[in-house]
Chain A
Amino acid sequence: MTGAYVVRRIGFYVLICAITLFFAVPMLWIASAPFDSSPGLGVHWPDWTLENFRKTLDHPYAMHSMVNSLLICVTTAVAVTAFAALASYALSRVRIPGRDALLYGLLLLSSVVTGTAAMVPIFVMMFQLGLIDSRFGVALVMTGGLLPAAIFILKDFVDAVPKSYEESARVFGASTGQILRDVVLPVARPGLATIMVWAFVNSWGNFLVPFLLIRSIDKQPGAVLMQTLTDEGGSVNLQVLPVFSLLFSIPVVVLYLLVNSRYGFRFHGGIKS
């Protein structure tokens, strides 16, 4: 082809390479430092070792914080899914007076009230309830925060479930409980799985809420422990931090890949932010 065409193609690939490098290079640290015998904050070809992993496993709080994260996030994800499922089914199938206004209000609320805008009252409220330093308290606050968006996303799923299934079950004499358990629940499973993963991933990455509410180091989830690791004694714990970052990322990435391959949640808005 012509010279101009060749130049354009070259420019095109240079652009793609530049953008890809911009996204890839900062990530190299988390890929190399965990395996390096003298880990620093920079990226270089590592002097391979697994010593850092042993140090991380031996760290008094590292793995423990992972358990804390798990406790908080599983509680949050299960609660969000259960309560949002109940609410979204009722809102989808029953004409409750004021339903549309309620849904509109929920959508508005989910974007207006954020952790940063409400941190003082949440802190004060949890303090007065005696829920400071409580992992359960953190899960409660996160559940309340995620519910509006969860109800909204789930209602879309439930709306798409054909009502004829329920109708035929009813014709065959199924009770309300049977219809919900044997017809609605199985059909809505992809939606429920998506919401559960969404809630888990969001609470896993949440820093502000546990940072505000958890005081003692043995109750900190991973997101907050990372902050503690960098402040410990004024210097960064470089043997633990890279390994910890890597391990802390794995659940989120695995869940994302799993749901993506299983149900292909191409895009339901901010699946993760």
Chain B
Amino acid sequence: MTAASAPPVPAEPAPGRGPAGRGPARDVAGLGVGRALGFVAPALLLIGAFLIFPALWTIYIGITNYRLTGVEAVSPSVVGLANYTAALNDALFHNALWLTLLFVLGSAIIGQNVLGFTLAWVMRRTRPVVRRTVEAVVLLAWILPGTVVAYLWVAFYDRDGGTLNALLGTPGTAWLIDYPMACLVVFNTWRGTAFSMMLYSSALQAVPPSQLESARMVGASGWQTLRDVVFPHIRGHVLTNTLLISLWTANDFSPFLLTKGGPNHESETVPVYIYNVALQGGELGYSSAISFLLLIANLLVSLVYLRLLRRRS
């Protein structure tokens, strides 16, 4: 339920097993199918109640005019696809979609990817002391609680005493108000880069040193080596990483903590929009329709990701 409930990336899928793990099962403890089902039941019950049921209910609420207050709070009626046609013509929803795209593209697909790869690539050949220091700093950004990181950046961007203004010599600039999306992109890049760095570090270990050596012997430039030797080996990792971090970024609620979506909807990504429409505007039906669209988008990205995992193992 957290944006953090990251799907596990089996670091190295065991040979001959798909992601679904068709390992040989020998019931040596003698549970039997009946008792085994009893072991699985409590977990399935909780998952059913707090994930599957809400997901299905989103679909239903999305076709009603359910509201937080008023008559429709007591007796909502089914309005068919009206919420979806409304979304088609909703300028604020289009705005949220566009901003989410910008957020994902800027901070995940470009920011975290490029910075994470650069760090992994550069750190390969540094002295262990330097490498461990840099990695520790980057990792700290990742392990600190999300809310703490958000306020750390609110302080950093602050108009009156913020570090950024002191560093740039631009006193009085209200970064979060003047450039809200740029602020969010930098913030999310900072926070999430550790994941890409670690993933690419392990991916780069799979590149045969002999190939790098021969690239150096024939006098290939660093860029040529990357493009023709390294990249073909890690293409799968790049795609996996990009899909995962895009998924997390698109569902991230922390823009709310930095800007609440403002000023004037300028940083209102889809998750923040859903919250504002539902809990501020009271339009539960309409926000559920948008939630369902987000679920569908998540599903499509996840299916591609699982297909990739399966092919790799």
Contact = CB atoms under 8 A, between A and B. Distances in A.
Given A41-B162, A205-B145, A253-B143, 11 more contacts: A19-B119, A83-B43, A108-B306, A113-B298, A116-B271, A145-B50, A146-B1, A148-B5, A184-B29, A205-B2, A269-B10
Contacts of B239: none
| Residue of B18, B47, B270 with most chain A CB atoms under a 10 A cut-off | B47
A145 B5 contact: yes
Interface string A167-210: 10010000010011000100000000000000001111111110
Residue of B31, B49, B148 contacting most chain A CB atoms (<10 Å):
B148
Scoring A96, A116, A176, A266 by chain B CB atoms within 10 A of each residue's CB, the highest score goes to A116
B275 interface: yes
Given A26-B153, A206-B4, A268-B8, A42 B27 contact: no
Q: Is chain B's interface secondary structure helix, strand, loop, or mixed overall?
A: helix
A144 B46 contact: yes
B50 A15 contact: no
Interface of A: 12, 15-16, 19-20, 22-30, 33, 40-44, 79, 83-84, 86-87, 89-97, 100-101, 103-104, 106-125, 140-149, 151-153, 155-156, 159, 163, 166-167, 170, 176, 179-180, 184, 201-209, 212, 222-223, 226-227, 230, 241, 245, 248-249, 252-253, 256, 266-273
A204 B144 CA distance: 10
B40 A206 contact: no
Nearest to A144: B50
Nearest to A251: B145
Given A87-B39, A90-B39, A16 B122 contact: yes
B98 interface: no
A24 B137 contact: yes
Given A147-B46, A273-B4, A112 B166 contact: no
B61 interface: yes
Contacts of B147: 205, 207, 222-223, 226-227, 248
A230 B151 contact: yes
A64 B40 CA distance: 36
A95 B6 contact: no
Contacts of B128: none
Contacts of A156: 8, 10, 21
A114 B144 contact: no
B6 A273 contact: yes
A108 B300 CA distance: 10
A166 B306 CA distance: 32
Contacts of A241: 151
Interface stretch (B52-60, B207-215, B226-234): B52-60
A19 B1 contact: no
Contacts of B119: 19
Interface pairs A-B: 6 shortest CB-CB: A270-B6, A145-B1, A144-B50, A42-B161, A269-B9, A90-B39
Contact of A27 (B51, B152, B298, B303): B152
Contact of A141 (B23, B50, B134, B146): B50
B11 interface: yes
B11 A120 contact: no
A19 B193 CA distance: 11
A104 B291 contact: no
A41 B291 contact: no
Interface of B: 1-11, 14, 18-23, 25-33, 35-37, 39-40, 42-44, 46-47, 49-55, 57-58, 61, 115, 118-119, 122, 126, 130, 133-134, 137-138, 140-148, 151-156, 158, 160-163, 165-167, 190, 192-193, 195, 198-199, 202, 244, 247-248, 251-254, 257, 270-271, 274-275, 278-279, 284, 287-288, 291-292, 294-295, 298-299, 301-303, 305-306
A179 B40 contact: no
Contacts of A116: 3, 251-253, 270-271, 274-275, 291, 294
B47 A144 contact: yes
B264 to A, nearest CB: 19
B6 A42 contact: no
Given A30-B152, A104-B306, A144 B3 contact: no
B134 to A, nearest CB: 5
B155 A119 contact: no
Contacts of A248: 145, 147-148
Contacts of A146: 1-2, 5
Nearest to B28: A166
A153 to B, nearest CB: 5
Contact of A120 (B9, B43, B58): B58
A58 to B, nearest CB: 21
Contacts of B274: 116-117, 119-120
